[in-house]
Amino acid sequence: MPRFTPKVVTANALLEGDVIYLAADDSWTRSLSQAEVIDDEAIAQLRLLDAQRQPHRVVGAYLADVIPGPRGPEPAHFREDFRRKGPSNHAHGKQEDTAHV
């Protein structure tokens, strides 16, 4: 039987479309480092159901694999790293903010 890997609940904010993560206090955060890391499969499924019951706030909630990092969880897959950086077709949104640094 495969071992369960740590997960976070992620989705997109309904109004802005930003990538967001479920925090332990049931709030949504745009920072992966503030996301609740879930090590138990049953709890992960319950937290995902909680997120899916919020269609007025989020769309497309799912569980994403993470690995421990020096400043909190980091994406385990390049797709999640790509998602959190924002659109790749133009310099706008999160990418525009760093372009003027």
Domain, as residue range, for 15: 7-99
Look at residue 73 and tell me if it is in a domain: yes
| Alpha carbons 40 and 36: distance in angstroms, whole number | 12
Look at residue 67 and tell me if it is in a domain: yes
Look at residue 26 and tell me if it is in a domain: yes
Look at residue 2 and tell me if it is in a domain: no
Q: How would you write the pLDDT of the chain (101 residues) with one tens digit per residue? A: 678 899 999 999 999 888 999 999 999 999 999 999 999 999 999 999 999 999 999 999 999 999 988 888 988 887 787 677 665 555 555 555 555 44
Helices (H), the chain: 41-52, 78-85, 94-99
Look at residue 1 and tell me if it is in a domain: no
pTM: 0.79
In the chain, the amino acid numbered 37 is V
pLDDT given at position 2: 72
Look at residue 83 and tell me if it is in a domain: yes
Domain count for the chain, please give it: 1
